[in-house]
């Protein structure tokens, strides 16, 4: 981004300078440029410096840090302020286990979560919202004809990154927010067969709305992910994705692993007293188990109660 850049700033094409070595530039990075920054056709600048990142959103291919996949860590985006967790209400069906993982990643990275429920024309949000009653999780509902003013207000002045399974409607939403983006959109029939319509992450500046001033913010569209691995998050930090449970653990014995077989774990009594949803505790424990390689590898992000695929 150029100093004092605004909607009329030219788009500069730049290459990473050799002296940066293998340190890679990711979407969202603020960089120092030298060379031709005019943005004229054929002009090429060089990236010579990557500014310190205010946040780094990561995911791993797998949860288990003892496997090669678990160690394969990807930086999704740098400097994001808001993680927009995009979940369709149907086609593909919502996965609360996936949303829970995104919440863990967001809290771990110090990024605020926003739940974005798309395809509200196909199914109601009651089941998903009911699951999150104890959390003060902000959310928006999107249908093809919905007014996006509330969403635009939540995006203003921030860098927001969209994450979600393939086919949930991320690029469709980006095209509505930034009409000139012309992001390709896919058909849902290809989901689950390894087809992803978007193949790389792209940051786009949100347009200025008539009558509104100030910084409109940026939105980052990302390729759909099959799963959101959390091998990089410590067992202790996993709990930060469950603020509805964390308070209970002051009554746990020292070094309590919080697993179901730990008789003294205070989380069971907390749920029994109605202070949190039993399904959230079960989801947390599924995540703990998955990290130690004990989870169900077929559908790790489907919690009991989530709709079956195809329904």
How near is the Cβ of 212 to ligand GTP at its closest, in Å? 24
Burial class (CB in 10 A: 0-12, 13-18, 19+), 166: buried
Asked whether position 93 contacts ligand GTP by CB under 6 A, the answer is: no
Query: N- to C-terminal Cα distance for the chain?
Result: 44
Q: Which does 82 bind (CB under 5 to 8 A by kind): ligand GTP, Mg ion, none?
A: none
The first and second tokens of residue 243, run together, are 């603020």
| Residue from 287, 236, 285 nearest 98 by CA | 287
Contact with Mg ion (CB under 5 A) among 197, 227, 283, 303? 197
Interface with ligand GTP (CB under 6 A), residue total 24
How near is the Cβ of 118 to Mg ion at its closest, in Å? 12
Residue entry with tokens 């205070």? 266
Asked whether position 168 contacts ligand GTP by CB under 6 A, the answer is: yes
| Residue from 89, 183, 100 nearest 141 by CA | 89
C-beta of residue 32 within 8 angstroms of C-beta of residue 47 = yes
Asked whether position 222 contacts Mg ion by CB under 5 A, the answer is: no
Indicate the SS3 state at residue 118.
Answer: strand
| Residue from 249, 183, 258 nearest 221 by CA | 183
Residues 196-255 interacting with ligand GTP (rule: CB under 6 A):
196-198, 223-224
Residues 126-165 interacting with ligand GTP (rule: CB under 6 A):
142-144, 164
| Residue from 188, 183, 155 nearest 171 by CA | 183
How near is the Cβ of 179 to ligand GTP at its closest, in Å? 14
Residues 143-172 interacting with Mg ion (rule: CB under 5 A):
170-171
Residues 173-192 interacting with ligand GTP (rule: CB under 6 A):
185-188
Distance CA 235, CA 231 (A): 9
Q: Footprint of Mg ion on this chain (CB under 5 A)?
A: 170-171, 197-198
Q: Footprint of ligand GTP on this chain (CB under 6 A)?
A: 118-119, 121-122, 142-144, 164, 166-172, 185-188, 196-198, 223-224
């Amino acid at each position: 981004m150029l100093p004092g850049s605004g909607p009329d700033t030219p788009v500069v094409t730049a290459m990473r300078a050799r002296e940066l070595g293998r340190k890679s530039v990711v979407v969202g990075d603020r960089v120092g440029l030298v060379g031709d920054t005019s943005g004229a056709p054929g002009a090429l600048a060089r990236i010579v410096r990557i500014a310190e990142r205010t946040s780094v959103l990561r995911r791993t291919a797998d949860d288990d840090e003892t496997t090669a996949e678990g160690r394969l860590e990807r930086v999704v985006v740098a400097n994001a302020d808001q993680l927009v967790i995009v979940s369709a209400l149907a086609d593909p069906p919502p996965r609360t286990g996936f949303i829970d993982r995104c919440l863990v990643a967001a809290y771990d990275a110090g990024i605020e979560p926003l739940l974005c429920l798309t395809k509200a024309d196909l199914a109601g949000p009651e089941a998903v919202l009911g699951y999150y009653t104890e959390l003060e999780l902000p959310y928006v509902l999107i249908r093809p004809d919905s007014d996006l003013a509330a969403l635009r207000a939540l995006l203003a002045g921030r860098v927001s990154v969209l994450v979600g399974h393939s086919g949930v409607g991320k690029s469709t939403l980006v095209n509505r927010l930034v009409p000139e983006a012309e992001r390709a959109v896919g058909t849902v029939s290809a989901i689950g067969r390894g087809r992803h319509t978007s193949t790389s992450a792209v940051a786009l500046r949100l347009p200025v709305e008539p009558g509104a001033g100030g910084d409109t913010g940026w939105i980052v569209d990302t390729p759909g992910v099959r799963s959101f691995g959390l091998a990089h998050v410590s067992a202790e930090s996993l709990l930060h994705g469950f603020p509805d449970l964390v308070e209970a653990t002051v009554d746990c014995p020292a070094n309590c692993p919080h697993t179901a077989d730990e008789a003294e774990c205070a989380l069971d009594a907390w749920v029994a007293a109605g202070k949190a949803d039993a399904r959230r505790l079960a989801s947390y424990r599924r995540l703990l188990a998955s990290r130690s390689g004990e989870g169900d590898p077929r559908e790790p992000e489907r919690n009991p109660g989530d709709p079956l695929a195809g329904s």
